[in-house]
Amino acid sequence: MSEQHLGAITVNQAGYPSRGEKLAKFTGETSRYQVIDAATGNVVYTGQTGTYVEDKSSGCRVHTGDFSALTSPGKYRIEGAAGERSAAFVIADKPYYELQQGLLKAFYYYRCGAQLDGEYAGAWGHKACHLAEGTVIGQPELKRDSSGGWHDAGDYGKYSGPGAKAVADLLLAWELYPAAFAGVHTLPESDGVMPDILLECRVELDWLFKMQETGSGGVYHKLTTQHFPGLDVMPEEDTAELYFSPVSATATGDFAGVMAMAARIYQPFDEAYAARCLEAARTAWSWLTAHPHVPGFTNPPGITTGEYGDEVDSDERFWAAAELFRTTGDESYHSAARELAKLSFPKYSLGWGDMGGYGTLAYLLQGEAGTDPSLYAKLREGLLAEAARLLRQSREDGYRISLLEEDYIWGSNMLVMNNAMLLLMAEHVSGEPEYAACALDHLHYLLGRNVLGISYVSGFGEHAVRHPHHRPSVGDHVLDPVPGLVAGGPDRGLHDEYVREHLQGKPAAQCYADHEDSYSTNEVTIYWNSPAVFVTARFNC
């Protein structure tokens, strides 16, 4: 990120709703500012910033300009008295419509095993890839169909747990905000009947079926080559042998949870498919009950791809039980969920390693009447307490987000969006609008209202991510990266060589590099996009 954008005037580069709060953030000495109509050059609003906040995470004094009084649709930018200029932004009734479509379309670009071309892929197509059968580790004579699904991230691995988290976010977005997905037909499979978001989720669900071990019901943890390919290798050029890593309890729990959810959501559109999902979920649950104590997953010898290790599986089991109960009403699942809820694990987290939040959401969305009143009340109270904590932290932060200095970890933007998602669930449960306003502040941060003045979504914003750690974007020789991808964001741990060389001593929120070699700050992945789809959908209803 060039220094000219740091310390200046930052805005949500996707824009602001016509009605509602509109804030810009300033880090320079400017106090007086003007909002300029980009089409005419005319000054349409003049304002003055408030008192500054010493923001430790960004290392800056941050002050705020409020131009909420400006409601006329149009394209604008802000200029300070010393000539500082913000990126351009729009004001519109629904400024995030195209953003939502781009965030969702990214999953099409993540597709594995399919040729992407023509009007749907644009400049970012590639040939069909990873069509060979994979070998089951420990059973070298056993070969299985491995095609389909989504590539996980900047590499071409496919992982059951993270894939389930991504699908869960998208299915929840559809369940809570269906109006945001109406009338969109952007996929080859679009038929005007099943919404695009469900068509896209089905791509991953169809692959997840292939990850369930025949007979046992357990789910293979991941499907990858032995090692990551080079950064400029296109998907169809990655022809090394594929391996199914062993079954894990976490993968099986996630599989059971997402399949139970899918059974409920697809039932109105395809009863046979819904029944298949439910049967797969039940079979996975049977494996879990037959294997109550399973060691955490570690990479088998010879496999160096992403491990996604997780020593605690009670959260995944809780999600599975709660989701199966919600879908079936079966008291055996309810009893299991109540018992699992007594265990100590994060009950409000939505990360791939801590999935307890999805169990909590499933239970609360079932409604008080059909649940255990004491457990419902306890989970509801806990959710609202966590949301209140996030709200307090956001109000103290210079950029109005809920991350503390120590929260700028590898994949910090997932925390930003997961926290926003949790805030919106609190809004759904409580009806309190302040939670949605805080969630929108998190979206503002993602789209450019941050200390670096960068939109962390490729293709969206005047100063958006240009060089993600994403093999197709590096190897396709197209100038622009694949659009709609959410970058990982600042990582104060400086976990790759590029940032260790270039960002020593930077404040936490500045520990980011828009460079293809920075896999710890600039990689992309499906489960960073998925909560962003959920959050954006809320503001497109």
Distance CA 474, CA 479 (A): 9
Rounded to 5 degrees, φ, ψ at 91 are -115, 125
Tally the residues of the chain.
Answer: 541
Tokens in use for 402? 């809920």
User: Of residues 196, 213, 476, 514, which has the active-site annotation?
Assistant: 514
User: Of residues 55, 84, 152, 155, which has the active-site annotation?
Assistant: 155
Residue among 447, 492, 462, 413 at smallest CA distance from 59: 492
Q: Are strands 9-10 and 23-26 parallel, antiparallel or unpaired?
A: antiparallel
The verdict on whether 523 is a catalytic residue reads: yes
The verdict on whether 469 is a catalytic residue reads: yes
User: Of residues 469, 470, 515, 516, which has the active-site annotation?
Assistant: 469
With b meaning 16 or more CB within 10 Å and e meaning fewer, what string describes 80-115?
A: beeebebbbbbbbeebbbebbbbbbbbbbbbbbbbe
Contacts of 13 (CB under 8 A, 6+ apart): 87, 88, 89, 447, 448, 455, 460, 461, 462, 463, 464
The verdict on whether 407 is a catalytic residue reads: no
Residue pLDDT tens, the chain, 541 long = 334 345 599 999 999 999 999 999 999 877 899 999 999 999 999 999 999 999 999 999 999 999 999 999 999 999 998 899 999 999 999 999 999 999 999 999 999 999 999 899 999 999 999 999 999 999 999 999 999 999 999 999 999 999 999 999 999 999 999 999 998 788 999 998 999 999 999 999 999 999 999 999 999 999 999 999 999 999 999 999 999 999 999 999 999 999 999 999 999 999 999 999 999 999 999 999 999 999 999 999 999 999 999 999 999 999 999 999 999 999 999 999 999 999 999 999 999 999 999 999 999 999 999 999 999 999 999 999 999 999 999 999 999 999 999 999 999 999 999 999 999 999 999 999 999 999 999 999 999 999 999 999 999 999 999 999 999 999 999 999 999 999 999 999 999 999 999 999 999 999 999 999 999 999 999 999 999 999 999 999 9
Q: Is 178 helix (H, G, I), strand (E, B) or coil?
A: helix
The verdict on whether 232 is a catalytic residue reads: no
Residue among 399, 457, 450, 461 at smallest CA distance from 89: 461
Distance CA 423, CA 383 (A): 9
